[in-house]
Amino acid sequence: MCGIFGCVLKEGNAAPLIHSSLKRLEYRGYDSVGIATISEGKIFVKKDMGKIDEVDRIVDLDDMPGSIGIGHTRWATHGAPLKVNSHPHGDCKGEIMVVHNGIIENFLELRAELQNLEHTFVSKTDTEVIPHLIEQTLKNNPKLSLVEAILETLKRVEGSYALAVISTREPDKIICARNESPLVLGIDSNGVYCASDIPAFLPITNKAVMINNGELVILSAKGYEIKKICDSSPVVREPITIEWSPEMAVKQGYPHFMIKEIHEQPETIRNTLRMQDHYLDLLSTFLDRANEVFLVACGTSYHACLAASYMFSKLAFLPTYPVYASEFVEQHGKSVSIDSTILAVSQSGETADTIGSVTCAQQRAATILSLTNVIGSSLTRVSRVYIGTQAGPEIGVAATKTFTSQLSVLAQLALRLAKKRGKVSQDEIDCLEEQLARLPNTVETIVNTQEQKIKEIAKKYKDAKVFFFLGRGISTATAFEGRLKLMEIAYIPAIAFPAGESKHGPISLIEDGFPVVFICPRDETHRTVIGNIMEMKARGAHIIAVIEEGDEDIKSLADDYVEVPKGIPGVLSPIPFVVPLQLLAYYTALAKGCNPDMPRNLAKCVTVK
């Protein structure tokens, strides 16, 4: 998730406005920044890796001529956060500059095609194919206008984008376009603005025009003109007035980052499913050849590893060992060797316990692989191969969208391994891949249809002294994650166990009215979970069940239930089934007057052991 901004001003310099607008988009990404302006037919560019203020101190982003320009603050997905990969990106002659937020899925083949046509690429990004494609389109047909060339280009591009283009060919305009990644216009008497999000221009104007998927916009001194990309037909859309305060706008109108990020999950899972084959193939090849695989992480990332161990076993018959990073050195430090493979999972890529485990394993010649949300983090620098979850910055201390993104990548790895190892039928793989592709919509349905009910459940149980979270099989990982969420932001003591473990001790804690959350996908554990529910119910527990819609067997036993759509395979179930638990924790925290974004005693990234 990156931030783009562009402006066409009637008076004044564009650069200072672009700079301040990018600062308001910094929550969307902050590993590099760049601005391009156009003045007297020439393009000026300043960009570098680092946070906006750091780069500004070096290059003085405000000191650029021209009243038209574009800017970008980056969250690296393809290509490390280096100057060469920072936006804007240009064509061979530096006459076209582009800023982009999204993922171009077919960039590898487009780049190969353009390189065969003598185009020179300087970055590792997917974005750089766009200016070169526009350049080649104009070379093939010089009579085309810039808009026509961009329309032609966009018909060849697959994937998500919000992009803005300037060119010396038509220096009086910005062309922007949207497919899936957000794009919005700002309008006022001195100019027109395009941005990834409203906060960029809200202090300047609260008049906004929302741009839809498949639309291109021409920004000029005359104002804005919207066209459909598919057939260039004009679109008329009047500005709306935004009532948000700037502070609310950074959260897109949500009261907290945590609920915004829970709601973002359909988009972030969709992005994760656009993972480049190349990275998945490479990582799965290392796992396939590994003698022993440790999955090493902390907190929520550890729960993703726990769920992944079921996925790898069930789909690829690959044994993997999830280990708390804080225990790894004590538990396996002496036994790990050149025959060991470590898959470290970390949202921040900076967690000291995880880095410490990886460093220990590396010193014993183990192979280090990693999955992180921060490209360029310490973890990526010590990994032989790494994959990014592409979930965009997660501001809330509680991990939510990064958890479901981690699981989505791990599920894709397990499916690749299943294919490589031929352990499950092609039909089953096809069905699982189809279900995986449906998950963004499934999560959207859960949020849209169950949120109100979960709010009520949260109010009903907010004063409970303790919560139980129980699941069987892969749902054990979901139960552990639900417990952590409730503990860390609503400060309610919570206990999580494999449901089958309850009768070996924990059930002695049950007293009348204890809320026990059961995670009950319709998988092979469904029948035994019913038995566990009855055990708890018989001792006075209040049963809160997360069930597949229409599961009458469990509905008849539960005091409260939350329904997720039918047909989710057990092996993928943690991704949708965790969403009600995230919402339960969030609304319980609100009901208790806690601040979900800044839970006491916790930090977003634990860089101490």
Least Cα distance to 43 among 70, 23, 62 occurs for 70
Q: How far apart are CA 307 and CA 443, in angstroms?
A: 18
Backbone angles phi, psi at 471, to 5 degrees: -155, 165
Stretch near ligand AGP under the rule CB under 6 A, chosen from 100-108, 161-169, 294-302, 505-513: 294-302
- Residue that has been written with the tokens 């389109």 in this structure: 137
Choosing from 419, 431, 604, 605, the catalytic residue is 604
Stretch near ligand AGP under the rule CB under 6 A, chosen from 5-13, 116-124, 293-301, 436-444: 293-301
Nearer to ligand AGP among residue 167 and residue 346 (C-beta): 346
Does 377 engage in binding with ligand AGP (CB under 6 A)? no
Least gap, CB of 227 to ligand AGP (angstroms): 42
Least gap, CB of 36 to ligand AGP (angstroms): 33
Interface residues for ligand AGP in 79-138 (CB under 6 A)? none
Tell me if 78 sits within 8 A of 19, measured CB to CB.
no
Least gap, CB of 402 to ligand AGP (angstroms): 7
Q: How far apart are CA 491 and CA 547, in angstroms?
A: 25
Whether 2 is catalytic: yes
Q: Which pair of tokens denotes residue 518?
A: 């059961």
What are the distances in angstroms from CA 123 to CA 80, 81, 111, 474, 491?
Answer: 10, 11, 11, 41, 46
Does 442 engage in binding with ligand AGP (CB under 6 A)? no
Angle between helices 574-591 and 401-421 (to 10 degrees): 170
Q: Kindly write out the interface string for residues 340-359 of this chain, putting x where it contacts ligand AGP by CB under 6 A and - elsewhere.
A: ------xxx--x--x-----
Interface residues for ligand AGP in 301-340 (CB under 6 A)? 301
Nearer to ligand AGP among residue 591 and residue 598 (C-beta): 598
Preceding omega of 88 cis (within 30 degrees of 0): yes
Stretch near ligand AGP under the rule CB under 6 A, chosen from 77-85, 296-304, 326-334, 469-477: 296-304
Nearer to ligand AGP among residue 216 and residue 486 (C-beta): 486
Q: How far apart are CA 562 and CA 117, in angstroms?
A: 56
Does 369 engage in binding with ligand AGP (CB under 6 A)? no
Q: How far apart are CA 87 and CA 98, in angstroms?
A: 7
Least gap, CB of 590 to ligand AGP (angstroms): 17
Q: How far apart are CA 464 and CA 461, in angstroms?
A: 5
* Strand ranges, E, within 130-171: 161-167
* DSSP 8-state code for residue 119: P
Angle between helices 475-490 and 299-316 (to 10 degrees): 170
Find the binder of ligand AGP among 399, 409, 424, 454 (CB under 6 A).
399
Nearer to ligand AGP among residue 130 and residue 575 (C-beta): 575
SS3 category, 347? coil
Nearer to ligand AGP among residue 299 and residue 574 (C-beta): 299
Q: Which residue's CB atom is positioned nearest to ligand AGP? A: 299
* DSSP 8-state code for residue 607: -
**Binders of ligand AGP: how many residues, by CB under 6 A?**
15
Q: Kindly write out the interface string for residues 473-492 of this chain, putting x where it contacts ligand AGP by CB under 6 A and - elsewhere.
A: ---------------x----
Interface residues for ligand AGP in 378-397 (CB under 6 A)? 397
Least Cα distance to 22 among 75, 65, 93, 67 occurs for 75
* DSSP 8-state code for residue 503: G
Nearer to ligand AGP among residue 369 and residue 533 (C-beta): 369
Least gap, CB of 331 to ligand AGP (angstroms): 18
Whether 604 is catalytic: yes
| Other beta carbons less than 10 A from residue 511's beta carbon | 11
User: Catalytic residue numbers?
Assistant: 2, 604
Positions that interact with ligand AGP (CB under 6 A): 298-301, 346-348, 351, 354, 397-399, 488, 605-606
